[in-house]
């Protein structure tokens, strides 16, 4: 089934699949995998309002970062990007596009890899670039502080509920991958920004079914999507001139890196991140929650004395 945005291009895609079979000698299973991966790309384009013929290298890099944020393994991302390169090579051979945007597109390393991180100064720059005269200004400040303070996945941020906030105790309950739950300490700075956002949020008309979501659209009154969070960060990066590819996942990496550099225990960092290879229930069974919070207080830049 073709995505709605490319129904008019059905003939082009049939030629592409014939190219894979006749010229690349793909098996039926490989062809099926390439079709599914192409669908992922085109669905992403549809959500972003991107014309697949005019895509840029930067947009493809953001697509790759989105896959990583979804928790897809580097090996799987490399396979998907291989399909993307094949598709655009075909378009170039068919003279459907002038320039191949994939020439400089890199796949994530499969071995040891240190992801891009932001410095504390760069995070401050992004937050300072938020236009506080706009209705969503305080909301966006709370979003960035919560991402950085708690090391959340973007899906966890979008799904965060008011009923899962324990701000007086300094914790939030997060629903992670595989419907697992974990308690995460939250910095006083993020708590302050959230409380200021709730003052603005109380003035909004929230649509039924969305009342418990922490972050909602100021215009539609509905829970924010992942794409909106990506867009907020992209606009701020453009405003500050930060040229590295930054996604919500970059804040998660920065959270972990800054804690590690500050001296936090690696095991504690894994617990805070909700690492998929660690049983989340160990937070409640084996690790003292006050110890977790103390690690944040002692080692996270937002809690150290020179930030007070």
- The three-state DSSP-derived secondary structure of 86-131 is HHHHHHHHCCCCCCCCCCCCCCCCCCCCCCCCCCHHHHHHHHHCCC
pLDDT in tens, 136-160: 999 999 999 999 999 998 989 999 9
53: annotated active-site residue: no
Which one from 40, 141, 153, 299 is the annotated catalytic residue? 153
275: annotated active-site residue: yes
pLDDT in tens, 224-252: 998 899 999 999 999 999 877 788 888 98
Nearest to 183 by CA among 164, 158, 162: 164
pLDDT at 220 over 90: yes
pLDDT at 217 over 60: yes
Mean pLDDT of 24-36: 87
Return the higher-pLDDT residue of 116 and 117: 117
Q: Give CA–CA dist 155/169, Å, rounded.
A: 24
Which one from 85, 89, 177, 180 is the annotated catalytic residue? 177
pLDDT at 4 over 60: no
Please report the pLDDT score of residue 279 as a whole number.
Answer: 39
166: annotated active-site residue: no
Residue range 4-93 in CATH 1.10.101.10:
no
Q: Give CA–CA dist 307/93, Å, rounded.
A: 55
pTM above the 0.85 mark? no
Return the higher-pLDDT residue of 23 and 211: 211
pLDDT confidence tier of residue 288, bands split at 50, 70 and 90 = very low
Distance of CA 285 to the CA centre of its chain: 30
User: According to CATH, what is the number of the domain 120-307?
Assistant: 1.10.443.10
Please report the pLDDT score of residue 46 as a whole number.
Answer: 83
Return the top range by mean pLDDT from 1-10, 125-134, 269-278. Answer: 125-134
Q: Which residues of 131-156 are buried (b: 16+ CB within 10 A; e: fewer)?
A: eeeeebebbbbbbbbbbbbbbbbbbb
| Domain boundaries defined on the chain | 4-93, 120-307
Helices (H), the chain: 10-22, 28-48, 57-69, 74-93, 120-128, 137-150, 154-158, 188-201, 226-240, 248-262, 266-273, 282-285, 289-299
Question: Residue 161 in contact with residue 212, Cβ under 8 Å?
Answer: yes
Mean pLDDT of 41-60: 87
Place of tokens 């960035």: 144
Contacts with 297 (C-beta within 8 Å, 6 or more apart), sequence order: 185, 303
Which one from 79, 161, 175, 275 is the annotated catalytic residue? 275
219: annotated active-site residue: no
95: annotated active-site residue: no
Which one from 201, 249, 258, 299 is the annotated catalytic residue? 249
205: annotated active-site residue: no
Question: Residue 148 in contact with residue 255, Cβ under 8 Å?
Answer: yes
Please report the pLDDT score of residue 163 as a whole number.
Answer: 96
pLDDT confidence tier of residue 36, bands split at 50, 70 and 90 = confident
Which one from 139, 226, 252, 253 is the annotated catalytic residue? 252
């Amino acid at each position: 089934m073709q995505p709605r945005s490319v129904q008019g291009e059905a003939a082009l895609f049939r030629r592409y699949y014939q190219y894979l079979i006749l010229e690349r000698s793909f098996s039926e299973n490989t062809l099926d995998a390439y079709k599914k991966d192409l669908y992922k790309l085109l669905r992403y384009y549809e959500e972003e309002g991107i014309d697949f013929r005019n895509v840029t290298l930067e947009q493809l890099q953001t697509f790759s970062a989105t896959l990583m944020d979804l928790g897809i393994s580097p090996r799987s991302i490399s396979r998907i990007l291989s399909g993307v390169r094949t598709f655009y090579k075909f378009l170039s051979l068919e003279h459907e596009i002038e320039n191949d945007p994939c020439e400089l597109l890199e796949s994530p390393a499969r071995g040891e890899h240190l992801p891009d991180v932001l410095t504390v100064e760069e995070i401050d720059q992004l937050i300072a670039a938020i236009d506080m005269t706009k209705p969503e200004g305080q909301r966006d400040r709370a979003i960035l502080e919560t991402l950085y303070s708690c090391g959340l996945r973007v899906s966890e941020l979008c799904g965060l509920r008011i009923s899962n906030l324990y701000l007086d105790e300094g914790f939030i309950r997060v629903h992670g991958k595989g419907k697992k739950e974990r308690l995460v300490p939250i910095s006083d700075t993020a708590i302050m920004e959230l409380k200021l956002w709730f003052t603005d949020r109380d003035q909004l008309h929230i649509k039924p079914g969305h009342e418990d979501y922490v972050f909602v659209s100021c215009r539609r009154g509905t829970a924010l999507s992942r794409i909106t969070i990506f867009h907020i960060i992209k606009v701020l990066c453009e405003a500050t001139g930060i040229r590295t590819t930054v996604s919500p996942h970059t804040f998660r990496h920065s959270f972990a890196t800054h804690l590690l550099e500050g001296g936090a225990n690696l095991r504690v960092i894994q617990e805070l991140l909700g690492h998929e290879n660690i049983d989340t229930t160990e937070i409640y069974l084996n690790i003292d929650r006050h110890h977790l919070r103390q690690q944040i207080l002692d080692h996270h830049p937002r809690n150290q004395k020179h930030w007070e």
